[in-house]
Amino acid sequence: MSLQGKIAVVTGASRGIGRAVALRLGSMGAQVLVNYVSRPDAAREVAAAINQAGAQAEICAFNVADTEATTAAFKKILDDHGRIDILVNNAGITRDGLLVKMEENRWDEVLATNLKGAFTCTKAVSRAMMKQRWGRIVNISSVIGFVGNAGQANYAAAKAGLIGLTRSMARELAARNITVNGVAPGFILTDMTKNLSATISEKIRSEIPLGVLGTAEDVAGAVAYLVSDDARYVTGQFIHVNGGMYMG
Ligand code: NAP
């Protein structure tokens, strides 16, 4: 599954799942653009690890919720490298709370980052991928987008929105040999989930048939498959990486 010669952009690659995806794509030979928003040191560490393993990587800062900055960043990547072959829309945040108490800005922030961010990045790469007649786009949704969760109406709505975005883009871009798929992780050990109380973690674990929380590398493996030639005939699909907690 060589990605030699391919340029890959992974949003939110400084930590967690995005970090593992960036490392995996690098190990497959891709040149990786490691996006981050607030932690340059973490992004630099990821790029250095990719370099050390023998592949090329560079960091690029932009806030996916900022349309102007994101569009300009992708233009620069295209100017510098001439192409973008792989886009992984991974950047995401949570702003949890029950809907009755949820302030509008917490809804807007999550939708702007987790859903509109993916729209903006996809739009920014689509034309170049269409010209190349080759592209791979992978959207990181969540089990929560499929089943919902009390206290996460904003997050669930954004992640469910990614399902519609993925399937629509898959239809729009298929004729140009561009596949658009998604991965729906269950509960994965990252900064996003590390502050769950022991009681909640235990409750979640008890609902997972495989009996353990997942790792970022588990998700990276699914992304690696979707961007590889083995998945050339797969588009508009979601891979559930959730230990069996939801069987879609
Ligand atoms: P994480 O550890 O909190 O890392 C979030 C990453 O996103 C960081 O690299 C962060 O950059 C970046 N980011 C946040 N807001 C951004 C923005 N506006 N623009 C650009 N980058 C931004 O999260 P994670 O657990 O790895 O989650 C990654 C994705 O998987 C998210 O979409 C999440 O919803 C999804 N997911 C996670 C789980 C889970 O259990 N962890 C389950 C299902 C789905 P900085 O380091 O610069 O802040």
CATH classification of the domain holding 21? 3.40.50.720
* Ligand 1 pocket residue status of 64, Cβ below 6 Å: yes
What pLDDT does residue 7 have? 98
Q: Which amino acid is at 63?
A: N
List strand residue ranges (DSSP E) for 141-244, in order: 178-185, 238-241
Residue 2 domain-assigned (yes or no): no
Write the pLDDT tens digit of every residue in 182-229: 999 999 999 999 988 889 889 999 999 999 999 999 999 999 999 999
Domain assignment of residue 1, yes or no: no
Q: Is the CB of 39 under 6 A from ligand 1?
A: yes
Per residue in 128-181, pLDDT (tens digit) is: 999 999 999 999 999 999 999 999 999 999 999 999 999 999 999 999 999 999
pLDDT tens for 15-74 read 999 999 999 999 999 999 999 999 999 999 999 999 999 999 999 999 999 999 999 999
The torsion angles phi and psi of 174, rounded to 5 degrees, stand at -60, -40
Cβ 239 under 6 angstroms from ligand 1: no
What average pLDDT does this structure show over 105-133?
98
Residue 212 is part of which domain span?
7-236
Backbone torsion region of residue 15, taken as left when φ is above 0, otherwise alpha when ψ lies between -120 and 50, otherwise beta: beta
Q: Which residues contact 59 (CB under 8 A, 6 or more apart)?
A: 14, 33, 34, 35, 36, 40, 43, 44, 46, 47
The helix/strand count (H/E) of the chain reads as 9, 7
On whether residue 244 sits in a domain, the answer given is no
CA 1 – CA 246 distance, rounded (Å): 29
**Is 56 part of any domain?**
yes
Beta strand 135-140 with 86-89 is parallel
> Three-state SS for 207?
coil
Does the pTM exceed 0.95? Answer: yes
What DSSP letter does each residue of 66-126 carry, written as one string? -HHHHHHHHHHHHHHHS---EEEE-------B-GGG--HHHHHHHIIIIIIHHHHHHHHHH
Residue 40: which of 12, 53, 59 has the closest Cα? 59
**Which pLDDT does position 71 carry in this prediction?**
98
Whether 34 is in a domain gets the answer yes
Q: What is the pLDDT of residue 212?
A: 94
Number of domains in the chain: 1
Q: Which residues pair with 10 in a beta bridge?
A: 34, 88
Report pLDDT for 193. 92
Q: How many A from CA of 190 to the centre of ligand 1?
A: 9
- Closest atom of ligand 1 to 91 CA is 7
Answer whether residue 241 is part of any domain: no
Identify whether 247 is part of a domain: no
pLDDT given for residue 196 in this prediction: 87
Kindly tell me the burial class for residue 22, based on how many C-beta atoms sit within 10 Å of its own C-beta (0-12, 13-18, 19 or more): buried
Binding site membership of 135 for ligand 1 (Cβ less than 6 Å): no
CA 94–ligand 1 middle distance (angstroms): 9
**Inside any domain, residue 245:** no
Q: How many whole angstroms from 93 Cα to the centroid of ligand 1? A: 6
According to the 3-state scheme, what is the secondary structure of 44-75? HHHHHHHHHCCCCEEEEECCCCCHHHHHHHHH
Is 155 a catalytic site residue? yes
Task: In whole angstroms, give the CA distance from residue 40 to residue 142.
Answer: 26
